[in-house]
Amino acid sequence: MPETARIAAALPWSTAWTIARRDLSARFRGLRLLLVCLFLGVGAIAAIGTLTGSIEQALGSRGQAILGGDIGVNVWQRSLTPQESAAVHALGRVTDGIRLQAIVTNGDATAPVALKAVDRQWPLYSRLELKDGRKVGAPPPGEAWLSEGTLARLGARVGDTVAIGGMPVRVGGVIARDAEQLSEGFALGDTAIVGLDMPRRAGLTALGAMYRTKLRVALTPGLDPQATVDRLQARFPDAGLEYRTRDKAAPGTNKFVERMGQFLVLVGLAALVIAGIGIGGGVASYLEARRASIATLKVLGATSTDIARIYLLQIAAAALAGSLAGLVAGVLVTPLLAQALGALLPVSVGLLVSPTALASAAVYGLLVALVFAAPPLLRARDYPAMAVLRARVAPLKVARKALALPVLGGLAGILALTLVQSSQPKMTLGFLGGAAAMLALLALVGWGIRRLAARLPRPANPLLRSGLANLHRPGAQTGALVTALGFGLSAFVLIAAVETSLDANIRRTVPQRAPAYFVLDVPRDRADDFRRTVAATVPAAKVRLIPNLRGRILAYGPANAMTRVADLKTVPDGAWALQGERGLTYSDTVPEGNTLVAGRWWPQGYTGEPLVSVDQDFAKAIGLNVGDRLTISLLGVERSARVASLRRIDWDSLGFNFVLVFSPNTLRDAPHNLAATIDLPGKANAPTLLPRLVRAFPSSSVIETGSLLRDARDLLAQMSTAILAAASVAVIAGLAVLTGAIAAARASRTYDTVILRILGASRAQVLLLQLAEYTLIAAVLAVVSLAIGSGLSWLVIDRLFGFTWLPDWPRVLAVLAAGLLLVLVVALAGSLPLLRTKPAQALREL
Amino acid sequence: MANSLSSGMGSAHMGRVTATPLAPRSPLPDTTAAIVAEDLRLTLGQGSAAVEILRGIGLQVPQGQRLALLGPSGSGKSSLMAILSGLERATSGRLQVAGADFAGMNEDGLARARRGRIGVVLQAFHLLPTMTALENVTTPMELAGMAAPRARAEAELTAVGLGHRMTHYPAQLSGGEQQRVAIARAIAPRPVLIFADEPTGNLDAATGRTIVDLLFDRQAETGATLLIITHDASLAQRCERVVTMADGEIVSDTLTTVKASDTLA
């Protein structure tokens, strides 16, 4: 008996690797489609993750400079009380400041600015950079630092005198970069920096004005920011003070970056799934070409498990190489991406290696490879040894049970990884569900087209006939191509249609519905004066003036069991109004655009128990009912009211909308100003209204809706570019699938071409034949992508956003045409080797 | 061993013995024989498309015997070899090869049973194109988990006269050289059985003779049982026993040498 050694149940992995490595071409010949697809998908996700990571890191590491201190203390419409101030000043070095919305004028030219008044201690960390290279702190008395944009709007230069809130100031310098910009929050207009006492002297901080006091503290060494804030909060629980710490200097920006990053990762993941189709096709052709080798290995004693191990190792090696290359490219491309996205990014980012982002991209890549490579691998495992003797063997079926573990396991892994990383699991699930539905729909369409092509009458034109036949011939990849290319192209159409619809809404619909001007801080005693000033310029203008106060909700619920907001560990979904200070108003009548849905409105001139009307969505989120009580803090004073009614707000009305509207007797005595909206009749142009209002009401801020909309459109265009860039990876992955399909069909195409050439076809005719086939596919793709993409865009715009669906068709079609042209060019370029085939030589080799 | 072919055997002539197939359903008589087959049948396809390839083959092959399988194309000899070497499973019948019961095994079981015990040489060589000559010979020993596969492969390639071509890929070797590699690959694990399916079919006459000499030499040195399919009568004459098939059945079973007759009663 010869030495048979141990007859192991399965080949040890080390031996399997020895055999796998021998059989694997050093240049991954045959597995390049897998390599390219993973490179693209993993590269896209790695680039997005790295970019998001580097922005988050920049925000985190520069928290002190962004906040302008270790902790920040803000309060609306007042200064700190002596006790509060003493407590804050005991913590370290302090800089005091004020922020408010204001108007700068230079003659008739006006510009809204976010006015930032700072004391001599400012800034505690770093210095302000001016365009002329100076590094400075607060401007000297009577001077202001303005932005280049503001100066351009005013037509002013350094040294000129302009007016802020009616008070003359000299332009002392141009702001180059304010490190604190990100922590300042939303503001209309660029920052203008002045000395601390300027707003007070200009009368901008009169009682009731909408300003914010902002203190920044450089803590005495040894004090922990969060612990310090906790102590302050415990000492002044109901003072309405808002706190920031240096590690959460710009929470809004952080959240935006995180959400945008997650969304782009999802788009990248969708691209990776498309790449997965290429991976499946690539692995299938690779293993098909290795049928003989697999059968020979079986003759030599390899079991199906051994075969699975050997080829799994080969595929894993190629997948690893593709993923690694993708990771490297993802990191290297980040600075370029950052440059391309430019103004959309809150901070400038450098080259960064974020291990979590890279690990997650690699895991995504390998899981997608597993899901798509498993079916062909399991099929190859069962190639019989007999194949060495018999050319034809019965077609192999893969046991569904065997497929369940790798495919379902891989899909579950992808889902788990995505959900773990997501801060909005519902949105993520929705996106994944939508993408899966779109893929399923495309697969169905691809199958249908194949069936239809087989049943259509044969065209008389031989080229068209042959092109049509290629759509349904055995082994035709029509289904895979429609799915892979259709997904990317549909995404192109979807993005273009959504973007142009949103843009059209902002450009056309919103201006028709939104007021022409918003005005803040109209003094209460000058309401009639304000109406008169507007009427004198545009008699038909519609002015709406409402009281505008700020306060925070302290407690809510049934009178005997009220919930204190300070005790809440987490804020319920949809209860955003519980956070920080919110706009409050009072009114004798139900506000315009609001509908009462529960309870009753108080009568005109009501003087009884203080009452409040609450937005029904907010009431639902916190479980508030008519009859319950609500306590607010207004300028540090507690006020309580009974919930008299619930309202439905039509947010589309684009005017001032308040979650809480009180009965006038509840708030009227509190110091406050008015806010106003001005609607101009038709498309009236009133160039003199703005300067006249600014002159008459220097302490008020007049904001043109038009400039707001311009900013919104710019932001939209930039975001859509970012999303389009991520989606273009899906199109490139689709092109890789196309290239793979062409390569896989090369042998049979060569045969066709040779036969046609022997029968007398010219090269031009062969080229036309290819063109006819791919034009047919492109035409099908055009219809499918247009239908799916625009259908989905209608869902997003009409159903999700509630806007009017207004795609810019020439632009949408241009985007689609560009994508299709790319498909045709790649397809024809891939077919060129066929034209060079010499019939005699090919016949010898076939 | 002497009785291994006696059951159901026909008359024995001087130097030339005609054997008839084993009677169906008899107990497997000799578990030490290299091959004991009983009533092997192979049907491909189903229903009206079913084709009966083998119709009740009975065959015993003692260890160390050289057996030539002759027959016209389509007679079923390749299918018989595929079943005997475990490449295909019979539709019915009993089969014991190198002490293992093949009839009860699935495809993977058969692969394991082949490891190190059965060597196969095919007409089209079937070398692994992505591996060098040395790697081709090493692979079956690695699959069988044998010790020092590389040293053994080098020794075997040297023995077949390819010591200087070890790192060449199949595409860089001539047909004759490729078949030498295939022989080295089949013999290196020291199998008890070697199957060769028309090993000279793709070679010119002179190269074919050299290859056969080599195959017989290596077989004689290792003492393995050799079953060779051939159309070449002169090659068959060099075997101790010639089995002829036609239409899925064994039609003659002849001993050709004194040595062979020694193994028969």
A723 min Cα distance to partner chain B (Å): 44
Q: Of A23, A300, A382, which has the smallest distance from its Cβ to B140's Cβ?
A: A300
Q: Of A297, A305, A389, which has the smallest distance from its Cβ to B87's Cβ?
A: A389
Q: Is A478 a domain residue?
A: yes
Under a CB-based contact definition with an 8 Å cutoff, are residues A648 and A616 in contact?
Answer: yes
Under a CB-based contact definition with an 8 Å cutoff, are residues B122 and A388 in contact?
Answer: yes
Looking at the structure, tell me whether residues A807 and A717 fall in a common domain. yes
Under a CB-based contact definition with an 8 Å cutoff, are residues A733 and A272 in contact?
Answer: yes
Looking at the structure, tell me whether residues A219 and A97 fall in a common domain. yes
Q: Is A602 a domain residue?
A: yes
Give the strand pairing for B100-101 and B92-97.
antiparallel
Task: Residue B142: list chain A partners with CB under 8 A.
Answer: 15, 18-19
Q: What pLDDT does A231 receive? A: 92
Domain boundary residue, one of A220, A248, A276:
A248
Neighbours of B187 (CB within 10 A): 23
For residue B145, the chain A residue with the least C-alpha distance is A5
Q: Give dist(CA B39, CA A137) in Å, integer.
A: 103
Residue of A4, A306, A307 for testing the chain B interface, max B β-carbons within 10 Å: A4
Task: Residue B150: list chain A partners with CB under 8 A.
Answer: none
For residue A16, the chain B residue with the least C-alpha distance is B143
b/e sequence A113-131, b meaning 16+ C-beta within 10 Å: bbbbbbbebbbbbbebbbe
CB contact under 8 A, B87 and A15: no
Looking at the structure, tell me whether residues A621 and A671 fall in a common domain. yes
Q: Is A694 a domain residue?
A: no
For residue A28, the chain B residue with the least C-alpha distance is B130
pLDDT digits (tens, 9 = 90+) for B47-100: 888 889 999 999 999 999 999 999 988 899 889 999 999 888 899 999 999 888
Task: Residue B88: list chain A partners with CB under 8 A.
Answer: 384-386
A13 min Cα distance to partner chain B (Å): 11
Q: Is A362 a domain residue?
A: yes
Residue of B89, B110, B115, B123 for testing the chain A interface, max A β-carbons within 10 Å: B115
Q: Of B87, B115, B131, which has the smallest distance from its Cβ to A7's Cβ?
A: B115
CB contact under 8 A, A2 and B111: no
The CA distances from residue A74 to A79, A241, A637, A744, in Å, are 9, 6, 16, 66
A379 min Cα distance to partner chain B (Å): 15
Which residues, including other chains, have CB under 8 Å from residue A313's CB and lie 6 or more apart? A13, A16, A17, A20, A21
Q: Give dist(CA A76, CA A95) in Å, integer.
A: 17
Q: Of B82, B189, B197, which has the smallest distance from its Cβ to A2's Cβ?
A: B189
CB contact under 8 A, A299 and B135: no
- Cite the DSSP H helix spans in A629-762: 664-667, 689-696, 705-744, 746-758
Under a CB-based contact definition with an 8 Å cutoff, are residues A23 and B131 in contact?
Answer: yes
Better-scored residue on pLDDT, B243 or B23: B243
Q: Give dist(CA A500, CA A509) in Å, integer.
A: 13
Under a CB-based contact definition with an 8 Å cutoff, are residues A185 and A176 in contact?
Answer: no
Looking at the structure, tell me whether residues A80 and A52 fall in a common domain. no
A355-381 and A251-289 helices, crossing angle to 10°: 20
Q: Give dist(CA A214, CA A184) in Å, integer.
A: 10
Alpha carbon dihedral B72, B77, B79, B80, in 10-degree steps, equals 160
How many CA atoms, within 13 angstroms, populate the side-chain half-sphere of residue A810?
0
Looking at the structure, tell me whether residues A100 and A238 fall in a common domain. yes
Q: Give dist(CA A674, CA A803) in Å, integer.
A: 30
pLDDT digits (tens, 9 = 90+) for A263-304: 778 778 888 888 888 888 888 888 888 888 898 999 898 888
Q: Which residues pair with A594 in a beta bridge?
A: A649
Give the strand pairing for A135-136 and A109-118.
unpaired
Under a CB-based contact definition with an 8 Å cutoff, are residues A796 and A803 in contact?
Answer: no
CB contact under 8 A, A4 and B197: no
Under a CB-based contact definition with an 8 Å cutoff, are residues A150 and A189 in contact?
Answer: yes
Chains A & B: contacts with CB separation below 8 Å: 117
Residue A526 one-letter amino acid: R
Q: Give dist(CA A150, CA A162) in Å, integer.
A: 11
Looking at the structure, tell me whether residues A267 and A407 fall in a common domain. yes
Looking at the structure, tell me whether residues A85 and A223 fall in a common domain. yes
pLDDT of A4 over the 50 cut: no
Query: Which residue's structure tokens are 């013995």?
Result: B17
CB contact under 8 A, A3 and B146: yes
For residue A385, the chain B residue with the least C-alpha distance is B87
CB contact under 8 A, B147 and A1: no
Q: What is the pTM of this model?
A: 0.72
Task: Residue A22: list chain B partners with CB under 8 A.
Answer: 128, 130-132, 135, 139
A362 min Cα distance to partner chain B (Å): 29
Residue of B112, B117, B137, B150 for testing the chain A interface, max A β-carbons within 10 Å: B112
- Three-state secondary-structure class, residue B261: helix
Domain boundary residue, one of A406, A423, A440:
A423
Under a CB-based contact definition with an 8 Å cutoff, are residues A334 and A47 in contact?
Answer: yes
For residue A22, the chain B residue with the least C-alpha distance is B131
Q: What pLDDT does A841 receive? A: 62
Q: Is A342 a domain residue?
A: yes
Looking at the structure, tell me whether residues A546 and A652 fall in a common domain. yes
DSSP codes of every residue in A539-567 = TT-EEEEEEEEEEEEEEEESTTSPEEGGG
Looking at the structure, tell me whether residues A723 and A818 fall in a common domain. yes
Residue A842 one-letter amino acid: A
Q: What pLDDT does A9 receive? A: 63
Q: What are phi and psi of A199, to 5 degrees?
A: -60, -40
Output DSSP code: residue B130: T
pLDDT digits (tens, 9 = 90+) for B167-226: 999 989 998 899 889 999 999 999 999 999 988 877 788 888 888 888 898 888 888 999
What average pLDDT is seen over chain B?
A: 82
Under a CB-based contact definition with an 8 Å cutoff, are residues A471 and A450 in contact?
Answer: yes
Residues in chain A: 846
Looking at the structure, tell me whether residues A634 and A661 fall in a common domain. yes
Q: What pLDDT does B264 receive? A: 38
Query: Which residue's structure tokens are 């001139």?
Result: A605
Q: Of A4, A5, A384, which has the smallest distance from its Cβ to B107's Cβ?
A: A384
CB contact under 8 A, A301 and B135: no
B14 min Cα distance to partner chain A (Å): 32
Helix (H) or strand (E) run with residue A816 in it: helix A809-835
For residue A388, the chain B residue with the least C-alpha distance is B126
Q: Give dist(CA B249, CA B40) in Å, integer.
A: 10
Q: Give dist(CA B194, CA B140) in Å, integer.
A: 14
Q: What pLDDT does A346 receive? A: 66
Task: Residue A300: list chain B partners with CB under 8 A.
Answer: 114, 120, 139-140, 143, 185
Under a CB-based contact definition with an 8 Å cutoff, are residues A499 and A715 in contact?
Answer: no
pLDDT digits (tens, 9 = 90+) for A417-449: 888 888 778 888 888 888 888 888 888 988 888
Structure tokens given for A562: 């009220």
Lowest mean pLDDT among A356-360, A748-752, A764-768, B104-108: A748-752
CB contact under 8 A, B112 and A301: yes
Q: Of B114, B116, B197, which has the smallest distance from its Cβ to A2's Cβ?
A: B116
For residue A4, the chain B residue with the least C-alpha distance is B116
pLDDT digits (tens, 9 = 90+) for B146-157: 889 999 999 999
Contacts by A332-337 with C-beta closer than 8 Å and gap 24+? Answer: A333/A43, A333/A47, A334/A47, A334/A50, A334/A51, A334/A54, A337/A47, A337/A51, A337/A725
Q: Is A202 a domain residue?
A: yes
Residue A607: which domain range? Answer: 542-679
A268 min Cα distance to partner chain B (Å): 36
Residue of B143, B193, B222 for testing the chain A interface, max A β-carbons within 10 Å: B143
A487 min Cα distance to partner chain B (Å): 37
Q: Give dist(CA A384, CA A296) in Å, integer.
A: 9
Under a CB-based contact definition with an 8 Å cutoff, are residues B149 and B134 in contact?
Answer: no
DSSP codes of every residue in A622-637 = HT--TT-EEEEEETTE
CB contact under 8 A, A23 and B128: yes
Give the strand pairing for A629-634 and A542-557.
antiparallel
Three-class SS of A304-334: HHHHHHHHHHHHHHHHHHHHHHHHHHHHHHH
Residue of A297, A389, A390 for testing the chain B interface, max B β-carbons within 10 Å: A389
Better-scored residue on pLDDT, A758 or A48: A48
Looking at the structure, tell me whether residues A584 and A729 fall in a common domain. no
Q: What pLDDT does B22 receive? A: 40
Task: Residue A5: list chain B partners with CB under 8 A.
Answer: 116, 144-147
- Three-state secondary-structure class, residue A242: strand
Q: Of A1, A7, A300, which has the smallest distance from its Cβ to B139's Cβ?
A: A300
Q: Is A698 a domain residue?
A: no
Under a CB-based contact definition with an 8 Å cutoff, are residues A333 and A44 in contact?
Answer: no
pLDDT of B262 over the 50 cut: no
pLDDT of A391 over the 60 cut: no
CB contact under 8 A, B114 and A2: no
Under a CB-based contact definition with an 8 Å cutoff, are residues A8 and B145 in contact?
Answer: yes
Helix (H) or strand (E) run with residue A777 in it: helix A763-794
Structure tokens given for A604: 């005109």
- Tell me whether residue A598 is exposed, middle or buried, using C-beta atoms within 10 angstroms of its C-beta: 0 to 12, 13 to 18, 19 or more: middle
Interface residue ranges in chain B relative to chain A, Cβ cutoff 8 Å: 78, 82, 85-88, 99, 107-108, 110-117, 120, 122, 124, 126-132, 135, 139-140, 142-147, 185, 189-192, 197
Lowest mean pLDDT among A48-57, A107-116, A482-491: A48-57
Domain boundary residue, one of A248, A274, A300:
A248
Looking at the structure, tell me whether residues A302 and A336 fall in a common domain. yes
Structural domains counted in chain A: 4
Q: Of B132, B142, B197, which has the smallest distance from its Cβ to A15's Cβ?
A: B142
Give the strand pairing for A563-564 and A542-557.
antiparallel
pLDDT digits (tens, 9 = 90+) for A293-349: 898 999 898 888 899 999 999 999 999 999 999 999 988 888 887 777 666 666 666
pLDDT digits (tens, 9 = 90+) for B24-36: 334 444 556 899 9
Does ipTM surpass 0.85 in this model?
no
Q: What are phi and psi of A62, to 5 degrees?
A: -110, 25
Q: Give dist(CA A461, CA A681) in Å, integer.
A: 63
Mean per-residue pLDDT, A741-750: 75
Task: Residue B80: list chain A partners with CB under 8 A.
Answer: none
CB contact under 8 A, A386 and B87: yes
Lowest mean pLDDT among A208-217, A760-769, B148-157: A760-769
Q: Is A702 a domain residue?
A: no
CB contact under 8 A, A1 and B99: yes
Lowest mean pLDDT among A476-485, A672-681, B8-17: B8-17
CB contact under 8 A, B115 and A305: no
CB contact under 8 A, B144 and A5: yes
B136 min Cα distance to partner chain A (Å): 10
- For residue A168, cis peptide bond before it (omega within 30 degrees of 0): no
Q: What are phi and psi of A130, to 5 degrees?
A: -100, 160
